[in-house]
Structure 1
Amino acid sequence: MALKALVLALVFNELYAAPAQVPLDIPSTQYAKRKLQGRFLHITDMHPDPYYRPGASEKSACHRKKPKKDKTRAGYYGTPFSDCDSPFTLTNFTLDYLDKKWTSDIDFVIWTGDNARHDNDRKLPRTPDEIYHLNRVLANKMHEVFLSKGIPVVPSLGNNDVWLQNILMPGPNDITHEFSSIWKAFIPFPSLQVFQRGAYFSTEVIPNEIAVVSLNTMYFYERNKAVGGCEFKDRDDPGNLQLDWLDVQLDAYRRRGMKVWMSGHVPPSPGNYFPECYVRYAEMSLRYQDTILGHLFGHMNVDHFTLIEARDLEIPAEDVQGSANRSSPISVLKKKNRLYKELIEDFSDLPKSKKIDYDEYAVVNISPSVVPNPYLPSFRIFTYNITGGPKKYLDSQRKGHYRGPTMDRKKACRKGSAYQDTWWCQPHKPWHSDADAPSRTNALWAPLGYAQYNIRRKRLNSSSKIRKPGFKLEYMTFPVDALHPPADAVAPGKFKYPIPLHHLPRSLRNSTITESKFAPYQMRDLTIPSWVELAQRLARPKKEEKLRKRFRKYMYQGGREG
């Protein structure tokens, strides 16, 4: 064991230039006000692996030459569609590329966790020190690339950033204290005490206008057996404490007229979250629909989106009594690798367009990962509206209107019951929704679209360190005609390009082009109605078969579902 520890220390210190184990501070003078670009980066699941060896076999998770019969061998910059994690050559290349190509074009960074390798090699088990060290290495790099240039970075905790994997005890604990040190430069000082308790915080990335909430989804994740799972009767459950805090945060931001991006590692769904955690999160997502711009998560390594719906607030009575089976039908389906089919089935249940009440929906975007395990290294650049004047949404159109869980509460909430003082039995709260809010229409701060970039398989497969890979546009959500100034523009020089022209393939730099393989969705923006419309189109098996094939191809980046 002592020899292994020595080897690990040499690998880190000599090969990867690890930073000193001290908190990262940034002088206040470096927070110079930057001109808004109307774009931000979402990056997730980097999974650096200090033991990765070019030429090693996939069956050894790319750590050893044996077995020789394994034809899949590790490339210098990574091994696509494999079980191997990222070499530092890949994570460094990715962040150096973003530094060189994108830092002048973005306003902030949402970074949603998993910054340590998977525990997939019994001969090289992970240790807490290794996990912390890998997180410090990436935190140092994120500081160098973004924060030092005045670009806010909002990290969140992944299920592989803790030891044991998937297990996190209620805080404060050693893990929350360690990450409060590792991420000190990213967390506002007034939030440190709350972070040390639960590893979550919020920060204003555009002062007085846009905030990002960084959730600790470990306290919602159904695989974390160290917590109760937001049980209604347990007011001190860490998941409930986090959601109580979130309610206060969203209410405060709303009263200030600000907008919020929700972020975290494990995406909210009945299969990922404990039932009560999911219902509370869903209820809050809909209640503050006029304040929340969107929900950004990672973890799944699969490019897709899901809908939070009002019907999700129906909780089986046995769940309320704390005796429900935690393995929901959705989680069982996911374990059988039927995610695509499940999504199409969910979209097929949507009402027809004329019967849609958009107050009842929120959209969760799940981005693919940097690690090529099991697909291709990717990141997303989101574009949002920075034109027009602000509008305050303090008077809800749903004032006094409640759409919470609809089962009979009379018995569960009777005087003296265990549930009497829980959030579930509190007076009904109004839903804050507004058709003119930026989550619903193209107004100031509304999300307009994203461009997704990845490294193609052939470029990643190379075993040569001389031939560097390159990120290329995989696809975008924008219609082609949104990429260039309109022909009748009064002041073309003031047109804000959603994607800078030098980041587009040559075929898209031509302003006369009307169709492109890079623009499969033709979405006018990323508001709730646009996402629901895309879901409805995907639910049409005959009319939209071509669209379905493209959607599935992007989900798995040309690889197999798995």
Structure 2
Amino acid sequence: MKLYNLIYSLTLLLLVETSASQQQQQQSLQVAFQKQSVVIEKPAIVNYRLHGRFLHITDIHLDKHYLEGATIKSDCHRAPHKHKKKKKRQGKLAGYWGAPGTDCDSPRRLVHHAIDTIARDWKDKIDFILWTGDNARHDGDVKLTRTKKEILGYNKKVTQLIQKAFTLDNNRTLPIVPCIGNNDVHPHNQLRGMKNNPQLLEYSQLWSDFIPQDQQKHFRKGGYFASDVVPGAIRVLSLNSLYFFGSNDIVSTCSDPTSPGYQHVQWMKKQLKKARQENMKVLIIGHVPPTVKTFKDSCLDDYIKLSTKYADLIIGHMYGHSNMDHFQIISRKYSDVARLSKEEDDDDDNDDGEEEGSTVEWIQKDADRFISTLHKQYRKLQKIRDREDLVVIHVAPPMLPLFYPTFRINEYNADMTSSHFGDWLRYTQWYSNLTYWNEQVDNQKQQQLLTQASNKEPWHTKPEFEIEYSTDETYNMTDLTSSSWFEFAERISSKEGHDLWKVYLSNMFVQSNNDWYGQSLPEDDHDDQDDDQNNENERMPFILPLPAMAWFDWLKQKAFLFAEMLL
């Protein structure tokens, strides 16, 4: 009997231990599975239909001081002086909808109308919005300098306009990804790398609906963040290009471990590594584009290194700032591509940070050099066969009517079952000919005077946007991968692509060669010469006092002739 009780007790003890061991194993398996599920996370299910399109807008430059009828010399801020004895000499004055071809910024009515029009026509057809900075006016009027409060006020206003306009019927706001421009800080170009930077704190609050909660700490620290615009599939890295910007001389280079630029690069590296682990596609956006002219050398090198290492993930690099519609090819390995214009840029006396295409004065002075350098860059590509170290940078034209106001509708592969999901397929560039729409307002005002009608503002005469070009129909591009841009660069810089080069230049300046100026163009008498020769005439300086739009027309004519010389 004692033996039986002993065996029974041992059996019960063995059963208890076995049960405890099984429970412990199950718990270990659950913990291991949970850990594994953190690493191997399935993409989130998108509970709405993807359209395969996204909007890119940039460089709005709202100006509350814009005054219709003001002088261009005053940045469209002050009416012309009236003289009692002298006959009034009236030149070109600020138009109702803006002053294209001048250094004046965007009137409020243009910004309101443009945003509302784009939203009306596209908000139900796009998946997200890229918004690449410079919402505040320039600081060109010495009699009306900008303040921190004014700059933040412009950004608040534009943020409210965009957020309200792109709210869908189901009360869902489209994903919007903004970034800081060099004119969105005070003083312009300069942003300190410091803990609790007050300007970054203000923008973190202003854009709290756009910046994910887990990215707020990164934005408050450095002005950059990541946003999943298509959950589990496409991530946008919104960069703070001011920490890479050569004109921001209050921060050091990216090779300095204490600099905000270095910290920014480390954040980029972590984000791209994380995107690869999660099988995400990535769009990189910023305001100032990475070029030898704009970025600090070490920052540019780091940017290119990361971009080439993670090229398989990156859909595209999309920027603003330079105003001219173009793309550049940068590289660390091939100095004849990446550093092509370095020697020319080093002796440039423009040190105020307002580079390529930012003012009419710059266009009159330096755009011919920029275009010829760009043509060289494209042509040099023909000699390069190993292109894995090349990066294509895209610069969209502005809503600011330096030329004509624009916006860009991009299309991508939205089939989430496809191995090519996220591939950039094409874009369509839209613009509005403000010269025409200003004339319509003027005509209606004259009609009102003749008919003695009530003096009401002609709000019914509002600008319409039209297609300027599309990459598939105009450029015959089947997609917008890097290899397609390389092929396009070769094509427009070749002898056979001369006519397409002309089209490309017209698009670069947003069709701003208005026929009604009627200016004659000078003839070119240069002989053909090889593009590798060091020729002083290559600069081809401007010498005639033409109106602003005629400058653009002549500029393109000169660029065409220069291309013919190279060919």
Query: TM-score normalised by the shorter chain: which range applies?
Result: 0.7 to 0.9
Change (3 A) 1:74 1:86: same
TM-score normalised by L of structure 1: 0.72
CA offsets, 1:476-504, max 9 Å, x none?
Answer: 001xxxxxxxxxxxxxxxxxxxxxxxxxx
Which of 241, 247, 253 is residue 217 of structure 1 equivalent to? 241
The answer to whether the 8 A contact 2:131-2:177 is kept is yes
Matches within 5 A, 1:343-358: 343-352=374-383, 356-358=385-387
Give the TM-score, by structure 2 length: 0.72
User: SS of the counterpart of 1:59?
Assistant: coil
Which residue is 1:106 aligned to?
A: 126
Task: Count the aligned residue pairs.
Answer: 428
Asked whether the 8 Å contact 1:146–1:153 carries over to 2, the reply is no
Aligned to 1:199, which of 223, 229, 232? Answer: 223
Map of 2:510 onto structure 1:
557
For the 8 Å contact 1:270–1:328, the answer to whether it is kept is no
The residue number in structure 2 matching 1:287 is: 309
Matches within 5 A, 1:16-27: none
Mapped contact 1:282–1:312 kept (Cα < 8 A): no
Q: Does the 8 Å contact 1:229/1:276 carry over to 2?
A: yes
- Matches of 1:452 and 1:331, distance apart in 2: 33
CA distance in 2, matches of 1:326, 1:217: 23
Check whether the contact 1:40–1:106 (CA below 8 A) recurs between aligned residues.
yes
Aligned match for 2:181, one of 153, 158, 169: 158
CA distance in 1, matches of 2:411, 2:89: 47
Corresponding residue SS for 1:211:
strand
**1-structure distance, mates of 2:348, 2:286:** 20
Amino acid at match of 1:160: N
Tell me the equivalent position of 1:64.
78
Q: Which runs of 5+ in 1 are unaligned?
A: 1-30, 317-323, 392-442, 479-518
Larger Rg: 2
How do residues 70-81 of structure 1 correspond to structure 2 at under 5 angstroms?
Answer: 70-81=90-101
Shift of residue 98 of structure 1?
1.3
Letter in 2 for 1:345: K
Moved over 6 A (4+): 313-316, 329-333
Residue 530 of structure 1 aligns with which residue? 484
For the residues of structure 2 that align with 1:35 and 1:533, how far apart are their CA atoms?
A: 33
Structure-2 separation of matches of 1:308 and 1:145 = 36
Amino acid in structure 1 at the alignment position of 2:183 = N
Change (3 A) 1:551 1:253: same
1:277 counterpart (279, 299, 309): 299
Shift of 1:444: 1.5
1:509 counterpart residue number: none
Which whole-Å deviations, capped at 9, do the CAs of 1:444-498 have from their partners, x for residues lacking one? 21000000000014334334543111100000001xxxxxxxxxxxxxxxxxxxx
Matched, 1:381 2:381: no
> Going by fraction, where is helix more abundant, 1 or 2?
2
Is this contact kept in 1: 2:133–2:178, CA < 8 A?
yes
One-letter amino acid matched to 1:387: D
Distance 2:492 2:344 in 1: 30
1:143 aligns to what?
163
Greater shift after overlay, 301-310 or 120-129? 301-310
**How far is 1:74 from its partner?**
1.3
Aligned to 2:144: 124
Distance 1:328 1:260 in 2: 33
Secondary structure of 2:282's aligned partner: strand
1:34 aligns with 2:34: no
| Alignment map for 1:216-365 (pairs within 5 Å) | 216-230=240-254, 232=255, 234-311=256-333, 328=346, 336-337=366-367, 338-352=369-383, 356-365=385-394
| d(CA) in 2 for partners of 1:468, 1:314 | 47
* CA offsets 1:118-166 (integer angstroms, 9 cap, x no match): 0011111100000001100111111112255331000000000000011
Q: Show the counterpart of 2:519.
A: none
1:407-431, Cα deviation, whole Å (9 max, x unpaired): xxxxxxxxxxxxxxxxxxxxxxxxx
Question: Counterpart of 1:468?
Answer: 462
Equivalent residue number for residue 440 of structure 1 = none
Q: Using a 3 Å threshold, how does the CA distance of structure 1 residues 192 and 114 change in structure 2: closer, same or farther?
A: same
User: Is residue 91 of structure 1 aligned with residue 111 of structure 2?
Assistant: yes
- RMSD between aligned alpha carbons? 2.4
Counterpart-to-counterpart distance in 2, 1:452 and 1:325: 33
